[in-house]
Each structure stands twice: as C-alpha cells, then as structure tokens.
Structure 1
C-alpha cells in the first residue's frame, strides 16, 4: 500500500496529524502548491501528478479542501487508486462554512467515487455541518464515520499522531 497525503488549505502545519503521519509512516505529501490561494484546476492537475508518481496500490488520505480536490479529480477521470480516506471534507458550497478561496472548488461533486472510500467527520466542524458530511459520504458511496465533537479534525483537535485515524486507514485499506 502506497499512502499519499493530500492536505487542505494552508498545507497542514507541524502539529497536524497529517504531518505526524508523513514522518511516521513514511508517506509523501502531495505538493498541490498555492496553499493559501488555491485554484481547483491546478490542485487537480498536481494531485494527478502525485498519484502517478506514487505508483501502484495508492491509498489517498485527504483532509478538508483536499477532499474536494479528490472528488473533482475522480470526476475528471483520475487514475485508479485503491481507496481514499476523506477526513473533515470542507463544504465548498457554503458561504457560511468556508473562506472565498475554498468556494472556488464548488460545486462539490456528488457522484459515486470509482474506488473504496471513507468519510470521517466531526459533529462540530466549523467548515461543514455533520449532515452535509454525511450527504457527501452517501453521494460518494463512502463509509461514514462520525467521530463526535473533534472540530475540524486538525491540529486544534490535539490528536497528535491520531492512532484511531491510523486504525481507520488500515480498515479501509484491508477492504
């Protein structure tokens, strides 16, 4: 299994679980560029290049705006991957939940993903209502995991290396 990490807006700082995973697994981080002012067409192209470079049996682990990028990439016929773990997808269709630069990624694709997937969400995520996260999971054909009140499941959630997340990733990869 080749894990490819796909951060969201701001590129997940050093205390983010994704950064811990990058060091511990080791797993490469997709270099999407324009971390604070992204454009979907660039992020989708850069994700495609990162998946190609990752090789076979790729499992994507995306966070926040990275989830919308994965959904757009899949809709545009992105190459086959084994699975995707989509953590705290940002609701790019909501003015109330995301900043303007994230709204560029709307509308959120709502088609079934062509690979196994899991959406992991929180009941008090400021970037997406839990019902909306569950709707993403249903539309994408993903298993839905509600973690309870963990905010945006980021560095502010104080998850460290997030062992529960790693266990969920292994469940997904095993099918």
Structure 2
C-alpha cells in the first residue's frame, strides 16, 4: 500500500479495459505512482463485478485518491459511490455513456445492461468533488443528457466541443487537457465545488 499526502491518481477504464493508444493509458505511463483498475477475467459486463474491482483497487491505496474515469468507468464510479464510503479527493468523469438510451451497434443492449445491474443510472449527488467532461457529438450520449447527469451528481460541467467519445476512434490518443483537470482536482481542498459550465476549445 502507498501512503502520501499527494493524491494518487486511479484510472477507471470503460468496458474495453486496457486500450493501448487510449489517453488514459498514455497518461498513466507519464504519471509516476498512478494506478489502474485491473481488467476482469470473468463477468465483464457485470456492474457489481466492476464496482468490486474498483473497490479492491482503492483498498490497495492508502491516502487521498483522485479517480479518472472514462465512458462506462464513469458509471462504475457513480455506482461505487452509492454503496461505499471511503473518502475520495475528487473525480474526473469523462464522456459518460447514456445507458438508458439504445447504444450503437456493437455495444450492449439496454436489456443486457439492465440485467447486469447498470440501470437505472445513479442520480444521487456524489460525496466528493467532480468534473464531468461532455462531448457535443458523442455517439454514446447526447450532450443535454450528460449535462443532466452532471447536475444530478453536483459536478462541474466542462463542454469539450465536438470530440466524439474521446477515444482512439475519435482521434484521442492524447488528450492534453486531462492533465490540467487532474491537477485542479489534486490541488483543491476536498470540499464540494459549485457547478460551473465551462467550454474547452480543442
């Protein structure tokens, strides 16, 4: 276990886990001491199994933590927050999917997601400061739906513009702004921020 007053960054990937050219993977390689929730060997679509994996990863870290979640990792984080009470310094929640609406071909159906515990979306205010980053042309969630999620969670909303799902298929790759958002979360006192809508030019 690690102990430090500087928050440990813990990356929470989506359902596809480790993706070689993903911004989470690239950023983790540059952040000494950061960690990632490991991929599941079984029950890959189970929300409960994903939440348990996040909780296990947190148990290995002693001290403050900033979560950096993308896609379904955001939903894993919000489901985790409903049932666990370990203090979290802050969370960067990038392009959450809208699992309550039909996904594009190749993604799980609403029925499969409900059967595996993902639905309904958590709506409770998160017990830690958070920043939600939303895309204007995300194929997995309409901007207004993500803005509603951010409001429900008590999160600051950052408008990324048209960045698709912020993944390699959309050209990301590197996402330079992630570092500054993580730095902002690491440097703040762990009190709830007010909701603030900001536009981020890409």
Alignment-derived partner of residue 19 in structure 1: 25
CA contact (8 A) 1:32 1:47 kept: no
CA contact (8 A) 2:28 2:35 kept: yes
Alignment-derived partner of residue 51 in structure 1: 58
Please give the TM-score of this superposition, normalised by the length of structure 2. 0.80
Tell me the distance in 1 between the aligned counterparts of 2:41 and 2:158: 30
Tell me the distance in 2 between the aligned counterparts of 1:12 and 1:133: 24
Match of 2:60, SS?
A: helix
Match of 1:145, SS?
A: strand
Query: How has the CA–CA distance of structure 1 residues 106 and 126 changed in structure 2, closer, same or farther, with 3 Å as cutoff?
Result: same
Tell me the distance in 2 between the aligned counterparts of 1:51 and 1:88: 22
CA contact (8 A) 1:10 1:35 kept: no
Alignment-derived partner of residue 113 in structure 1: 126
Tell me the distance in 2 between the aligned counterparts of 1:76 and 1:109: 11
CA contact (8 A) 2:89 2:129 kept: yes
CA contact (8 A) 1:58 1:81 kept: yes
Match of 1:47, SS?
A: helix
Paired residues, what number?
A: 175
Quick check: 36-45 or 75-84, which moved more? 36-45
Q: Cα deviation per residue 1:126-152 (whole Å; 9 max; x = unaligned)? A: 111101111111000000001000000
Alignment-derived partner of residue 124 in structure 1: 137
More helix by share: 1
Q: Cα deviation per residue 1:13-50 (whole Å; 9 max; x = unaligned)? A: 11110010121113211014158932011111111111
Match of 2:87 among 57, 80, 83: 80
Question: Which structure 1 segments of 5+ residues have no match?
Answer: none
Query: How has the CA–CA distance of structure 1 residues 86 and 57 changed in structure 2, closer, same or farther, with 3 Å as cutoff?
Result: same
Tell me the distance in 2 between the aligned counterparts of 1:56 and 1:113: 19
Question: Which structure 2 segments of 5+ residues have no match?
Answer: 1-6, 189-202
- What is the RMSD computed on CA atoms of the aligned residues? 1.8
The 5 Å alignment of 1:1-175 reads 1-26=7-32, 27-34=34-41, 37-96=44-103, 99-100=108-109, 101-103=112-114, 104=116, 105-175=118-188
Q: Cα deviation per residue 1:135-173 (whole Å; 9 max; x = unaligned)? A: 111000000001000000111232333211111111222
